[in-house]
Amino acid sequence: MNKYKVLGIAVVTVVTAIVASSCKNKRSPGWEYAPNMYEKIAFDPDQANPNFKDGKTAQLPPAGTTPVGFTRFDYPKTMDGYNQASIEVKSILAPTAKNMEEGKALFMTFCSPCHGKTGEGDGIVTTHGFPPPPSYSKGQSSRGGAMKDLTDGKIYHTITYGLNAMGSYASQLNPEERWKVVLYVHHLQTL
Ligand code: HEC
């Protein structure tokens, strides 16, 4: 046997052994180059985590904390929440011409189809059998009191949660936009 033949047999044997052994465990990826590229150190949110008491990675934020950029409105969708907001919640916006103009544009888009362009409660959908909302300037609120006396907090609460046939606008209008609309509703209350 010459030495090349011996070397050839040795190479074939080693390669066969590698190929055969690499297929043994179908779940194993085999030899990984730089495994830290595949196996990251960070936990996935749905992964079990021994670092926390409840063993979960996704933890709730600590009680009483507010995410950056989030505006709190801690008044529940109840009559008590409505009355409490009426006393405590005041607009964060100055009644400038620009805010009024933007409030008007938002009102025309989101509110006028029911409340009407002048807040009389004669919007287009009321001509199709939808119960007409009370006039902002002359009507009575179903929760008591004249519509023209509705406060910042009561209007903001209504936009946030809706009321009976009126839905919530919390997902369409962010807090600042809601305050712009409130500004315009105050204007319509005086008509
Ligand atoms: C789908 C029709 C509809 C739309 C759109 C709508 N509303 Fe209303 N809204 C109503 C009805 C109906 C009522 C009367 C509800 C009741 O008293 O049962 C009402 C009542 C109100 C009240 C009186 C709440 C109270 O305490 O009595 C306010 C303020 C108000 N809406 C503001 C708005 C604003 C601002 C928008 C736009 C962001 C809007 N609404 C959009 C139908 C609508």
Q: Helix or strand or coil: residue 11?
A: helix
Using a cut of 0.85, tell me whether the model's pTM lies above it. Answer: no
8 Å CB contact between 189 and 150: yes
Predicted local distance difference test score (pLDDT) of residue 24: 63
Ligand 1: residue whose CA is nearest its atom 41: 111
> Which numbered atom of ligand 1 lies nearest the CA of 131?
12
CA dist., res. 154 & res. 38, Å (int)? 54
In this structure, is the dihedral angle defined by the CA atoms of residues 139, 141, 145 and 150, taken in order, positive or negative?
Answer: negative
Domains of the chain: 94-189 (1.10.760.10)
- Percent share of the chain, pLDDT over 70: 96
Predicted local distance difference test score (pLDDT) of residue 71: 84
Q: Phi-psi bin for 64: left (phi > 0), alpha (psi -120 to 50), beta?
A: left
Ligand 1: residue whose CA is nearest its atom 13: 133
Query: What letter does residue 136 receive in the DSSP assignment?
Result: T
- Summarised one tens digit per residue, pLDDT across range 89-131 is 999 899 999 999 999 999 999 999 999 999 999 999 999 989 9
Q: What's the gap in Å between 182 CA and the centre of ligand 1?
A: 12
CA dist., res. 106 & res. 98, Å (int)? 12
Ligand 1: residue whose CA is nearest its atom 6: 111
Considering only residues 182 and 30, tell me which one the structure prediction assigns the higher pLDDT.
182
- Summarised one tens digit per residue, pLDDT across range 134-168 is 999 999 999 999 999 999 999 999 999 999 999 99
